[in-house]
Amino acid sequence: MTTTRFAPSPTGYIHVGNLRTALMNYLIARKSGGTFILRIDDTDPERSKEAYVDALKEDLEWLGLTWDRVERQSQRLDQYHEAADKLREMGRFYEAFETPTELDLKRKKQLNMGRPPVYDRAALALTEAERDAFRAERGAGVWRFKLNQNRIEWNDGVLGDISIDAASVSDPVLIRGDGQVLYTLASVVDDTEMGVTHVVRGSDHVTNTATQIQIIEALGGTVPSFAHHSLLTGPQGESLSKRLGTLSLRDLRAQGVEPMALLSLMARLGSADPVELRTDMAELIDGFDIGRFGSAPTKFDVADLFPLTGRLIAARDYACVAGQIAALGVPEADAEQFWAVMRENITVMSDLEAWWTLCRDGAEPVIDDEDQEFVTEAMALLPARPWDATTWGTWTAAVKEQTGRNGRGLFMPLRKALTGQAHGPDMGQLLPLLQTVRAK
Ligand code: GLU
């Protein structure tokens, strides 16, 4: 049975980059009727915050990415220490005492000599007495996993065949000097014990995957299928890493982006298939295939989310939005008509507010100098209320008759006088909704 997981570290709000990972894992699980685990990677007690755990759950719920169960790494420390003991017994785990400064110096020396900056395993040569001396002087060391220096290979669901020379990778630190278990060990133990079959994550994890494969094998686990999606860049190919903070899911929600607009885009961006707007999660699941994604960096433009959102909104029936329209204060008698007029003319639902204010209070008229007289003349001909769908036609026919104007020269000044702007809904439909007209 397929089991996937989304494993955010609760150290900030989740953003579009994380969403790609979450969505792909979710879709793979749902497509095969499997299990989708939300795993909170909170082994770092200083940086992990409960508020971020709540926030990320709220964000995923907003999107409808429901999980089958939650796991928390902070509650599984015993399991990680058990695995560490196992690695120690096997002779694959060793304590090292270099300070960050010493490691840095070693790296610089290696680079100067044109060698890759790989940890030199000096700690492996320490005698028991030397280790004791270091412990007395510096406290407990870090624990490194001793890689087998062969090639690590896997067939990646996005990148294809990957082969990494383990000798070019430093033995990873799995436990810090203060005893904190690091992500690499925790992740491997979880993936193995929770029966994770497919791991999809960003391509910044490719080297981690190489080392994790060896750790899984050492612990006797089954290596899952790995797929690494490409990283997102800005529209011009620029790095998004600094801007991701402003592309949090909650920001997008606050800007009025609709969940299915965001999901429709992210389920296809960077794949060989075109983006198709879906209104239904089942269709999204059906149309997803990770094998269609490419390894090239994927350009993401937040602006693309708005036309998609606008299209979703325009397709919405009155019944879906009646509550929101009533909340604006639109009288019941006008509410359905208000929606019929506005749905094609807004991008996000909050645009309705300005339109309703305009209908209720009228707009400050915009009248060009050469139209002053014309508008005054026209306003004098405006029929008395009540207005209906025929009023605009009757009125403008009379205005045309009296002033001799027609086409754009007739309609545009009237639109601008009544709505204060050059664009907007069909005037014939809008006029009956105008409770107040300020032009005279
Ligand atoms: N907590 C890790 C991250 O957010 C999880 C990576 C993984 O999926 O293994 O980068």
- Whole-number pLDDT of residue 259: 98
Question: Is-contact 265 275, C-beta < 8 A?
Answer: yes
Residue of 181, 182, 201 best suited for mutating to test ligand 1, as the one with most atoms within 8 Å of CB? 201
DSSP conformation class of 384: P
**Which domains does the chain possess?**
3-232 (3.40.50.620), 362-440 (1.10.10)
Residue 419, classed as helix, strand or coil, is helix
Q: How do residues 178-187 score in pLDDT, each as one tens digit?
A: 999 999 999 9
Paired strand residues for 298: 232
Average pLDDT, the chain: 97
pLDDT tier for residue 52 given thresholds of 50, 70 and 90: very high
With 90 as the cut, is the pLDDT of residue 9 above it?
Answer: yes
List the one residue out of 287, 196, 204, 281 whose CA is nearest residue 241: 204
Q: What is the CA(7)–ligand 1 centre distance, in A?
A: 5
Which atom number of ligand 1 is nearest to the Cα of residue 200? 8
Average pLDDT over residues 280-299: 96
Distance 396 CA to ligand 1 centre (A): 64
Q: List Cα–Cα distances, 68 to 4, 71, 109, 284, in angstroms.
A: 10, 10, 49, 19
pLDDT of residue 136: 98
pLDDT tens per residue across span 153-206:
999 999 999 999 999 999 999 999 999 999 999 999 999 999 999 999 999 999
Q: At residue 98, does pLDDT exceed 80? A: yes
pLDDT of residue 359: 97
Asked if pLDDT for residue 82 goes beyond 90, the answer is yes
pLDDT score recorded for residue 241:
79
Comparing CA positions, the residue from 270, 275, 299 lying closest to residue 287 is 275
Give CA–CA dist 435/357, Å, rounded: 10
Distance 204 CA to ligand 1 centre (A): 10
Distance 5 CA to ligand 1 centre (A): 10
Q: Give the pLDDT score at 12.
A: 95
Among candidates 244, 242, 262, which has minimal Cα distance to 253?
262
Q: Which atom of ligand 1 is nearest to the CA of 187?
A: 9
To test ligand 1's pocket by mutation, which of 187, 192, 207 has the most ligand atoms within 8 angstroms of CB? 187
Residue whose CB lies within 8 A of the most ligand 1 atoms, among 6, 9, 76, for a mutation test = 9
Q: How far is the CA of 118 from the centre of ligand 1 (A)?
A: 23
Average pLDDT for 219-236: 96
Beta strands in 26-159 (DSSP E): 35-40, 69-72, 93-96, 142-145, 151-156
Going by alpha carbons, the residue nearest to atom 10 of ligand 1 is: 8
CA of 196 to the centre of ligand 1 (A): 14
pLDDT of residue 239: 87
pLDDT at 13: 95
Strands 225-229 and 298-299: unpaired
Which residue has its alpha carbon closest to ligand 1 atom 4? 8
Ligand 1 atom closest to residue 191's alpha carbon, by position in its atom list? 9
Mean pLDDT, rounded, for 337-365: 97
The residues lining ligand 1, judged by C-beta closer than 6 Å to any ligand atom, are 7-9, 41, 183, 187, 201, 205
CA 403 to ligand 1 centroid distance, Å = 70
Q: Which atom of ligand 1 is nearest to the CA of 5?
A: 8
Burial of 284 (0-12, 13-18, 19+ CB in 10 A): buried
245 pLDDT higher than 80:
no
What pLDDT band is residue 246 in, cutting at 50, 70 and 90?
A: confident
Average pLDDT over residues 397-425: 97
The pLDDT of residue 199 is: 98
Whether 24 and 229 have beta carbons less than 8 Å apart is answered as: yes
Tokens of 303: 């602006």
Given a cut of 80, whether residue 303 has pLDDT beyond it is yes
Eight-state DSSP code of residue 420? S
pLDDT of 400 > 90? The answer is: yes
CA of 184 to the centre of ligand 1 (A): 9
State the distance from the centre of ligand 1 to the C-alpha of 213, rounded, in angstroms. Answer: 15
The distance in angstroms from the start CA to the end CA of the chain is 72
Atom number, ligand 1, closest to the C-alpha of residue 9: 1
